[in-house]
Amino acid sequence: MSEKPDKVKDRLPEGKSNMSRNGKAAVFLDRDGTIIEDRGHIRDMSDVVFFPETFEALQKLQDHFLLFIVTNQVGVAEAIITPGDVDRINHHIVSTLAERRIVITDVYVCPHRRTDNCQCIKPKPYFLIKAAERYGIDLCVSFTVGDHPHDIQLAQNADARGIYVLSGHGRKHLAELSDGTEVVAGIKQAAEKIVSTCRVEKYRNRHKQAKEKSILNLDVASELWLRTDLGPVPRHASEAAKARNVKNGK
């Protein structure tokens, strides 16, 4: 089936193509293979296994982004799992994250088969547009993270930016990616990459670099001080003056 995914701008109501400008930024996370291990159609809590880096990564991301989970659960359409199973598992995931103070703003599930031709299956941007409208999100400054090429096409279809992870099925589908796709090892590296694009973070880094530079200068100063044989490095200028006076016998 040749599928021409809708572009966000085609889906927004007339005259509202800028409605998401200056909105909040979000990260739309795939579930299986991205934040937890891909264990097929999960029905049992015991099959929910978070990647060890997930918690820290999401904590880092939520400093700057609203977090969402967007997941295709074809097992529902295939009657392997029920919608209730999916809800229960998602609730368990969200509350486990909440215990670590991680807030998932919303969870979006497509329970259909690809052949059902539904509106919500990834890479259709339906859920991202829904989130943008409901939570005031600017998709142009938002990201998707996932281990399937659909997660990247999802970003493209929503005018967002996709980060592909090699966890889950990432390695298996690597060859299907289009050129220029941003590929990282896992959720940890995805978070680092996303956060590094933030203005606040860029400012912090610049500040940190400047601070490191000034420490460097201080070291040069201390070395000069030591070379002039004026005793230990003073903490303040006043101490420096005192030390100089002592040296000069005043």
The one-letter amino acid code at 134 reads R
Give the span between the Cα atoms of 208 and 201, in whole angstroms.
10
Q: Is position 120 an interface residue for Zn ion (rule: CB under 5 A)?
A: yes
Query: 136-164 burial, b if ≥16 CB within 10 A, otherwise e?
Result: ebbbebbbbbbbbbbbbbbbbbbbbbbbb
Which of 74, 118, 140, 243 is close enough to bind Zn ion by CB under 5 A?
118
Q: Which stretch binds Mg ion (CB under 5 A): 83-91, 102-110, 130-138, 147-155?
A: 147-155
Q: Both tokens of residue 180?
A: 């220029």
CB distance 94 to 107 below 8 Å: yes
CA-nearest of 32, 165, 152 to 86 is 32
Residue of this chain nearest to Mg ion (CB atom): 33
Least distance between Mg ion and beta carbon 14 (Å)? 35
Q: Which range binds Mg ion by CB under 5 A, 139-147, 154-162, 217-225, 235-243?
A: 139-147
In three-state secondary structure terms, 31 is coil
Residue range at the interface with Zn ion (CB under 5 A); choices 29-37, 40-48, 87-95, 107-115: 107-115
Scanning 102-110, 142-150, 169-177, 223-231 for contacts with Zn ion by CB under 5 A, the matching segment is 102-110
140 contact partners, CB below 8 Å, separation of at least 6? 20, 21, 159, 160
Minimum distance from CB of 41 to Zn ion (Å)?
A: 16
Distance CA 186, CA 164 (A): 8
Least distance from Zn ion to the Cβ atom of residue 172, Å: 23
Which of Zn ion, Mg ion, none does residue 198 bind (CB under 5 to 8 Å by kind)? none
List the x/- string, 96-135, binding to Mg ion by CB under 5 A.
Answer: ----------------------------------------
Query: Which entry of Zn ion, Mg ion, none binds 33, CB below 5 to 8 A by partner kind?
Result: Mg ion
Please, are residues 9 and 17 in contact by the beta-carbon 8 Å criterion?
yes
140, interface contact from Mg ion, Zn ion, none, CB < 5-8 Å by kind: none
**Residues in contact with Mg ion, shown as a per-residue x/- string from 32 to 71 under the rule CB under 5 A:** xx--------------------------------------
Which residues does the annotation mark as catalytic? 30, 32
Distances (CA, A) of 64 to 60, 146, 197: 8, 19, 10
Interface with Zn ion (CB under 5 A): 110, 112, 118, 120-121
